[in-house]
Every structure is written in structure tokens, then in C-alpha cells.
Amino acid sequence: MTASRQPAAPRPGAASTPNAGTKSAGPGRPKDMGKRAAILEAAKRMFTQHGFDGASMDQIAAEAGVSKLTVYSHFGDKDALFLAAVESHCDQSLPSTLFEPSPGTPLRERLMDIAQSFYSMVSAPEAIAGHRMLCSPQMANSGLPKLFWAAGPMRVQSDFAALLERRIAAGELDIADVPRAAGQFFSLLKGEPHACLVFGGPEPGADQIQAHLASAVDLFLRAHQVRGADPDRPAPGGRSRR
């Protein structure tokens, strides 16, 4: 998701200052971020249950407990709301802290943390429903899949590529084409288990998923780890958390 991130919505009532939970959106009244968060959660549920075409702005507004005018005020149209829901899902599942330098975290440990969070994100019911939705003939012939790519996978790969660059600079990795390697990493993580979920095949168990992710991470390290480097040790200059 290379699209700009939305700031995290504060919890309703978490602050008592007059401007808490609001955000200026140019001229006019400031936006209520609590309502925005409620709309996003409602949109995720409605898109998952009814698909993009089946979920109406009226349904989403009712589910969020706001007026339809409020939904349009925050998001403009259904396409923009769908993409904002994608961004929100990614930001919640893959927080920016997973991609911070953290030289004290051993490389393999960091890659496993990202792998587990990423797989949890793409295997969630709303993500599987969204994947099927985007592959439907109606959606495939629209511009939404391209926008989804920018709002979701591209942002994740960009953040991961930046992490790889830092680990290359630390002497842990040797990668000639970082963007390509980043895309390959996430493709490895999806693998057969994700395909089974999308196409209704046998659902893998927790142990199978863990073994699959560990194997994908180890394969990635065998391809790109600097010879002699220990992926279970912190980067030079960093202290282990253990």
C-alpha cells in the first residue's frame, strides 16, 4: 500500500480536550474520527458479508450507527470507502513498528514476525472475501483492482523493501533487486495455504501454517543472506532482546 496512511483513530472518550477525536479536513467542520473508525469497521463487515456490489452505503451507515450523509462526508463514494477499509485492515495487521530498523532484533526473528502478521492479514475472512471480490468479472473490468494494489500490497512491499535496504546496509543481506525480492517474499508466504483458502480447498492447520512460514523465511534467507552471517544474531551495533 503506497497510498498515504490514515492516522490511527483514537478510542472514543480517550481524551477530554475539546479537539480530541477530530481532524480538520479543510474548510468546514472537523471530522469526527470516532465515527470514521466506526464506518470503516462497518464497511469491512458489510463488504465481507455482501460483497462490493451487495453492500450499500445505506447498510454501512446503519451498521455504523451514523447517517448516510456522514459516510459520504468522510469517504466521498463507495470506491473510496472500500480502499480506506483495505488500508485500515493492512495498518491494523501490519503496524509500522514491524518495519522499524530495530537492529537489536535478529533478522530471522524480524522476518518471522512479519511473516506471521502478513499471513494472518491475508487469511482473515474479510481479506479472502476481498480477494475473491476483486477477481470477479465485474471488478476485474473496473479500475478498482489497480487502486486496491496501490492501497494494499504495494504499500506493504514498499515498507518491507525499506527494511531490507537497512539490513543490506548492516551487512546481513545481499540483494541485487530489492523491490523484486520484497514481492517474492510475500508470494512465498502466501503459497499453497492461501490458495486453499481462496479456492475452498482443505484448510491448513496451525502447525502446517507455522511450518510453511518458517520454511518460506528460511528459503528467503538462503537466497539472500550474506554468507557467514547468523540470522539469529542481532545486526552489528544492535543488542539482542534476549
The range of the structural domain enclosing residue 179 comes to 95-224
Share the mean pLDDT of the chain: 82
- Environment class of residue 182 by beta-carbon count within 10 Å: exposed (0-12), middle (13-18) or buried (19+)? buried
Domain containing residue 205: CATH number: 1.10.357.10
Number of domains in the chain: 2
Residues 209, 144 contacting (CB under 8 angstroms): no
Distance of CA 76 to the CA centre of its chain: 22
C-alpha separations of 176 from 101, 111, 148, 161, 173 in Å: 20, 19, 28, 12, 10
Asked if residue 71 and residue 106 are part of one domain, the reply reads no
Report pLDDT digits (tens) over 133-142. 877 777 777 7
Could you tell me the three cell numbers for 95?
503496524
pLDDT over 90 (residue 146): no
Q: Percent of the chain beyond pLDDT 90?
A: 48
Asked if residue 112 and residue 100 are part of one domain, the reply reads yes
Report pLDDT digits (tens) over 111-130. 999 999 999 999 988 888 88
Determine the pLDDT at residue 153.
Answer: 87
Q: Is residue 15 part of a domain?
A: no
Q: What share of the chain is helix, strand, coil (3-state, %, to 5)?
A: 65, 0, 35
The kind and range of the H/E element at 210 are: helix 206-224
Residues 97, 117 contacting (CB under 8 angstroms): no
Asked if residue 208 and residue 100 are part of one domain, the reply reads yes
Domain containing residue 56: CATH number: 1.10.10.60
Across the range 231-235, mean pLDDT stands at 75
Q: Is residue 20 part of a domain?
A: no
